[in-house]
A and B are shown apart, each in its own frame.
Chain A
Amino acid sequence: MFTKREKWWGYAFIAPQMIGMILFSLLPLLFAFGISFMNWDGFGERTFVGLENYIAQFQDSNFRAALRNTTIYSLIVIPGGIAAALLSALALNKVKGKDFYRMFFFMPVVTSSVSIAVIWMWLLNGDFGLINQVLASVGIDGPNWLTDRRFVLPSIAMLSIWWGLGTNMVIFLAGLQGISRSYYEAAEIDGASAWQKFKNITMPLLSPTTFFVAIMTVIGSFQVFDQAYVMTQGGPGNASYTLVLHIFDEAFTRSSFGTSTSAAMILFVIILIFTLIQFTVSRKWVHYEDNGR
């Protein structure tokens, strides 16, 4: 039991974080929720329009395109990103010079997203880009990655996977290093193969880490913005137009804060639903060593 004095110290320590969260997360969220039912250009009077903004969003071809693109992008980035990070972590867990490789893979994470996007614009250029130059050297005629509607979204997804690799890999590495050697030693004594050890020891004991990475990747992929904004502005046409780009455009290009916040609320609900599903499903596949206590 804590004394009264200790409790007050506890509150004092969490107060800055709570105040920050209320001021900069909760209040803006409530404000945005309120605005999503109004017609407001950001300056003048706000008029209540009920669900009109929400209905307008589903009737808006730009919003539908953004929703479709974001879903396709997420379907590439979520499994691709998790698999790439897990495989990298498993490989790095075995090699010498782990620290060097960890730093090497982590470097893109500490570089600004805009710089990375600009560099990749050069790399992916259909006429001059290094990627197509390399492909040409082995006789492959590379596409116009960023100006071809079929390739633009996978190209941005590829960049995102590469960019996010470092963070997820470090988390997986930490998870792997937290698994006690004694499990593997016991399995080896029983004659378990490498695959059996991976399937029956590594994966179950890594499942809380995988769960965390999955949650963060889902949230991050639905909020993709920087890459699409810098590299393509959502183009060509609206082939790489994402939900956050749409929210930004509605507010700052079309001066329609009502529809912008309604799109943001829809995105919030989508992420909330996916996260709840993940938490529900996780009970079946996430194993905690202390049984979740």
Chain B
Amino acid sequence: MKKVFGVGFVSALAITTLAACGSGSDSSTGSNGDAVELSFSAWGNPAELDVYNRAVDAFNEMQDDIEVTLTGLPNDNYFQTLTTRLQGGQAPDVFYVGAENISTLMSNGTIEPLSDFLDSGDSYVTEDEFTEDIWGASRNDGIVYGLPVDCNPILMYYNKALLEENDIPSPQELYENGEWNWETFEDITRQLNESGNHGYMQESGHGAMLNWIWTNGGEFATEDAIVGDTDGKTMEAFEYVDRMIDEGNFTYAGTMPEGQGIEAMFMSNQVGFVSAGRWLTPMFLDTSIDFDYIPFPSNTDEQIETANIATAYMAVNSKSDHVEEAMKFISYYTSTDGQEVRLDGEGNAVPSVVGIDEIVLNQDRPEHGQYLLDARSVGRVIGLEFTSPGLSEDLEDIYELMMLGDMDAADALEQATAKAKEAVE
């Protein structure tokens, strides 16, 4: 009898343990049986998570059926953490996915297609409410798999005091006079370099190179092909960046020690220009630094050229026990109301839906918030290159060699296009 009891106890324990291990996701019905509990993960620093929680709280308060809990994950290795949890059946119901990673989760069916839900009456947002050219790799064959959380058109931040100290004319003036171009930028960054400062911090990511390709009217990729090696404008952009670094006007950010990222260099008045989305603004506003926005200098006849728009998407775990509720939540989070709650005031991004642009302008500093909206209106997200997992890292490795002076511009472009063609074919 004792033996039978023992075997039974061990079996029950094993079954309970296995059942716990095999649960599809962290979600469950609330303890009182009323509200569905949804887990939500995103990357971000504590200040950003506070911003995200504004929309989570608003959603939880407006209805009684769903209760969402946000858990922040570190930026470093976010995707690796997420995929490991997805493989182990322990991933949250909804989560942020980077633009460069979403295609992986789409292709293996890990995230739910959303188009049908967006067309239904249950969604808080429809597909056409989002701004154009925002879908990038998150839409395949017309089906949407991830909703753009918000967006971040990349522009330049400049240190007003540092420029004034060096008798450099205001970029605003140059921009308004139609003189804000590559040539002027070369002159300004050279002056800063000669005075012992850094002119511009150049990063090695693919997006950082696209800023120069696109402002020269070039293309690295079309919707379905890699064309950089046949486009003279793209070659010019590579040569410009290579030469600027060689001459010391630009500083490759990868040569800075740990902790000396572009934002630290900017806040310590060591550099005139850095490029980023709106995400650096809350941090800079906490300092006394006098800064403003300016679009990327153009090398075409256009006053403002195509800007790279960084974005992240929000997706629903296919193995969630509450897919409908999860879709409902992300549709609210990315809706006009959701974005307004999050981004009003000192926000860290620009809306990805149309109609609430004024929330970007509700700030006294920096003065030219309008440029964020202008950059969004002429910008687009990276498409084809982000459909291949790992390609952005491979391209970054190649660009880094050029920026370190180990490879010339022509070789860098040739290798980058060859690697990209191999990856996307």
Q: Which residues of A contact B (CB under 8 A)?
A: 41-44, 118, 121-122, 125-129, 144, 147-149, 234-238, 249, 252-256
Contact of A41 among B108, B254, B255, B404 (CB under 8 A): B108
- Chain B 62-89 per-residue mask, 1 if CB under 8 angstroms from chain A, else 0: 0000000000000001011001101100
Chain A CB within 8 A of B183 CB: no
Instruction: Kindly provide the distance from the CB of B248 to the nearest chain A CB, expressed in whole angstroms.
Output: 13
- A121 neighbours in B (Cβ, 8 Å): 257-258
Given A125-B257, A126-B255, A147-B255, are A237 and B87 also a contact pair (CB < 8 Å)? no
Chain A CB within 8 A of B389 CB: yes
Instruction: Kindly provide the distance from the CB of B102 to the nearest chain A CB, expressed in whole angstroms.
Output: 12
Q: State the CA gap A148–B87 with chains docked (Å).
A: 38
Cβ-defined contact, B389 with A253, below 8 A: yes
Cβ-defined contact, B400 with A255, below 8 A: no
Question: Which single residue of chain A is at the shortest CB-CB distance from B84?
Answer: A252
Q: Which residues of B contact A (CB under 8 A)?
A: 77, 79-80, 83-84, 86-87, 104, 107-110, 254-255, 257-258, 389-390, 393, 397-398, 400-401, 404, 406-407
Cβ-defined contact, A43 with B86, below 8 A: yes
Cβ-defined contact, A235 with B393, below 8 A: no
Cβ-defined contact, B80 with A41, below 8 A: no
- B86 neighbours in A (Cβ, 8 Å): 43
Instruction: Kindly provide the distance from the CB of A230 to the nearest chain B CB, expressed in whole angstroms.
Output: 9
| Further pairs besides A44-B109, A235-B397: 5, Cβ < 8 Å | A147-B255, A237-B406, A252-B79, A253-B80, A254-B390
Contact of B400 among A44, A236, A252, A253 (CB under 8 A): A236
Cβ-defined contact, B397 with A253, below 8 A: no
- A129 neighbours in B (Cβ, 8 Å): 257
Cβ-defined contact, A253 with B406, below 8 A: no
Contact of A249 among B390, B398, B404, B407 (CB under 8 A): B390
Cβ-defined contact, B255 with A42, below 8 A: no
Q: State the CA gap A252–B76 with chains docked (Å).
A: 13
Given A122-B258, A144-B255, are A149 and B406 also a contact pair (CB < 8 Å)? yes
- A148 neighbours in B (Cβ, 8 Å): 404
Q: State the CA gap A42–B84 with chains docked (Å).
A: 9
Cβ-defined contact, B393 with A255, below 8 A: no
- B108 neighbours in A (Cβ, 8 Å): 41-44, 255
Q: State the CA gap A238–B393 with chains docked (Å).
A: 11
Q: State the CA gap A254–B107 with chains docked (Å).
A: 13
Cβ-defined contact, B257 with A122, below 8 A: yes
Cβ-defined contact, A118 with B258, below 8 A: yes
Cβ-defined contact, A43 with B398, below 8 A: no
Q: State the CA gap A121–B104 with chains docked (Å).
A: 33
Given A129-B257, A147-B255, are A236 and B406 also a contact pair (CB < 8 Å)? yes
Cβ-defined contact, A254 with B389, below 8 A: yes
The B interface, classified by DSSP as helix, strand, loop or mixed, is helix
Instruction: Kindly provide the distance from the CB of B58 to the nearest chain A CB, expressed in whole angstroms.
Output: 33
Cβ-defined contact, A255 with B83, below 8 A: yes
Cβ-defined contact, B104 with A41, below 8 A: yes
- A237 neighbours in B (Cβ, 8 Å): 397-398, 400-401, 406-407
- A256 neighbours in B (Cβ, 8 Å): 389
Cβ-defined contact, B258 with A255, below 8 A: no
Question: Which single residue of chain B is at the shortest CB-CB distance from A41?
Answer: B108
24 A-B interface contacts by CB (under 8 A)? A41-B104, A43-B87, A128-B257, A129-B257, A149-B404, A234-B397, A236-B401, A236-B404, A236-B406, A237-B397, A237-B401, A237-B406, A249-B390, A249-B393, A252-B77, A252-B79, A252-B80, A252-B84, A253-B389, A254-B389, A255-B83, A255-B389, A255-B390, A256-B389
Q: State the CA gap A262–B104 with chains docked (Å).
A: 20
Cβ-defined contact, A147 with B79, below 8 A: no
Cβ-defined contact, B390 with A147, below 8 A: no
Q: State the CA gap A55–B401 with chains docked (Å).
A: 28
Contact of B254 among A122, A147, A253, A255 (CB under 8 A): A147
Cβ-defined contact, B104 with A255, below 8 A: yes
Instruction: Kindly provide the distance from the CB of A32 to the nearest chain B CB, expressed in whole angstroms.
Output: 14
- A238 neighbours in B (Cβ, 8 Å): 397
- B389 neighbours in A (Cβ, 8 Å): 253-256
Q: State the CA gap A238–B83 with chains docked (Å).
A: 24
- A128 neighbours in B (Cβ, 8 Å): 257
- A127 neighbours in B (Cβ, 8 Å): 255, 257
Cβ-defined contact, A43 with B110, below 8 A: yes
The interface centre, meaning the residue of B80, B109, B257, B390 with most chain A CB atoms within 10 A of its CB, is: B257
Question: Which single residue of chain B is at the shortest CB-CB distance from A248?
Answer: B80
Question: Which single residue of chain B is at the shortest CB-CB distance from A231?
Answer: B258
Question: Which single residue of chain A is at the shortest CB-CB distance from B391?
Answer: A254
- B87 neighbours in A (Cβ, 8 Å): 42-43
- B390 neighbours in A (Cβ, 8 Å): 249, 253-255
Cβ-defined contact, B109 with A43, below 8 A: yes
Instruction: Kindly provide the distance from the CB of B193 to the nearest chain A CB, expressed in whole angstroms.
Output: 14
Q: State the CA gap A256–B406 with chains docked (Å).
A: 30
Q: State the CA gap A127–B108 with chains docked (Å).
A: 45
Q: State the CA gap A41–B110 with chains docked (Å).
A: 11
Q: State the CA gap A126–B257 with chains docked (Å).
A: 9
The interface centre, meaning the residue of A44, A122, A236, A249 with most chain B CB atoms within 10 A of its CB, is: A236
Cβ-defined contact, B257 with A147, below 8 A: no
Q: State the CA gap A42–B108 with chains docked (Å).
A: 9
Instruction: Kindly provide the distance from the CB of A237 to the nearest chain B CB, expressed in whole angstroms.
Output: 4
Cβ-defined contact, B107 with A41, below 8 A: yes
Question: Which single residue of chain B is at the shortest CB-CB distance from A62?
Answer: B394
The 6 closest A-B pairs by CB, nearest first: A254-B390, A43-B108, A252-B80, A125-B257, A44-B108, A237-B401
- B77 neighbours in A (Cβ, 8 Å): 252
Q: State the CA gap A43–B89 with chains docked (Å).
A: 10
Q: State the CA gap A118–B257 with chains docked (Å).
A: 9
Given A128-B257, A236-B400, A253-B389, are A42 and B109 also a contact pair (CB < 8 Å)? no
The interface centre, meaning the residue of A118, A129, A255 with most chain B CB atoms within 10 A of its CB, is: A255
Q: State the CA gap A253–B389 with chains docked (Å).
A: 7
Instruction: Kindly provide the distance from the CB of B245 to the nearest chain A CB, expressed in whole angstroms.
Output: 12
Q: State the CA gap A238–B80 with chains docked (Å).
A: 20
Instruction: Kindly provide the distance from the CB of A176 to the nearest chain B CB, expressed in whole angstroms.
Output: 39
Instruction: Kindly provide the distance from the CB of A121 to the nearest chain B CB, expressed in whole angstroms.
Output: 5
Question: Which single residue of chain A is at the shortest CB-CB distance from B80?
Answer: A252
- A147 neighbours in B (Cβ, 8 Å): 254-255, 404
